[in-house]
Structures are given as C-alpha cells and as structure tokens.
Amino acid sequence: MQLDIRQINNLCTGVRLATELKSSNPNLRKFLTIQGYSYNEDGKVIRLEKFLKKSTLDKIYFELRCYEISNEYYINGWDVTEDDLASQIYHDDIKGIPALESELKKYIDDYSVLKPEWYCDNLL
C-alpha cells in the first residue's frame, strides 16, 4: 500500500491528513493525523511552503498522532487540549514518504481513508 500522489502533494504543501479509526471503547472516538514539516538551516522546525517543489521531498519530515477522545467533547462542543485526550501515540521526525508509509502500516491497512483534516471530525 502506498500514499497516492494527491495525498503526497497535500502533505508536501502543509495540509494535515486525518482519518477516524475504530475505537475499542464505545465512549471514545479515535483519530489518526499526519502532517509534514521541515527544518531551517538553524535546525528549527518550519512549516512547508504552500506550493510544490521537487526539493521538498528530500527535506520533508512527518509527525504522526493517534489519539482517543471522549464523546462528551463532541456532544457538548467543548474545546480540546492534549491534556483532555484519553490516550495518545505521537511520533515525529519520520524522514520521507517511505518511512511514513512504513509507520502508517502499524495503524491502517488502507491509506485511501486519509483525507485533508477538514473532512474529518478530529478536534485536536
């Protein structure tokens, strides 16, 4: 399984991808998000530019977050912080698309479920 060109282009232009996963607890909702970023010459994290450049693929890193949150936040319309999460797995400094795809295999079988986050109900 591989990410498609649209997903890669979205990640390379700073669009966060997300999907809702099945939670083992009916009172929780589970989400997976991935986002690309880069480093500047001083080693500080920087956002990706909004237009595609071939060189971006050589410098891109990814963060992957898988978390669960109580249904109460959706029912009541509450704001969410990281302290409110029922569980969280966070990986960063995943270098390049092949490494990201390898990491994603641990969470999902079908990458086509990953859409720009505004299509997903994730609150974080």
For 67-120, how does the pLDDT look when each residue is reduced to its tens digit (9 = 90+)? 999 989 888 888 888 888 888 899 999 999 999 999 999 999 999 999 999 988
What is the per-residue pLDDT for 22?
93
In a domain, 110, yes or no: yes
Res 121 pLDDT > 80: no
Q: How many domains does the chain have?
A: 1
Q: Which pLDDT tens digit goes with each residue over 6-55?
A: 999 999 999 999 999 999 899 999 999 999 999 988 989 988 888 777 77
Structural domain including 86 reads 5-119
In a domain, 124, yes or no: no
In a domain, 104, yes or no: yes
Q: Which pLDDT tens digit goes with each residue over 63-80?
A: 999 999 998 988 888 888
Give the Cα-Cα-Cα angle 23, 26, 32 (nearest 5 degrees): 25
**Residue 95 CB-half CA count within 13 A:** 3
Burial track 84-118 (b if 16+ CB lie within 10 A, e otherwise) = ebeeeeeeeebeebeebeeebeeeeeebeebeebe
DSSP code string of 34-90 = EEEEEE-TTS-EEPPPSS--TTHHHH-EEEEEEEEEETHHHHHT----GGG-SEEEE
| The two structure tokens encoding residue 115 | 């859409």
For residue 51, the one-letter residue type is F
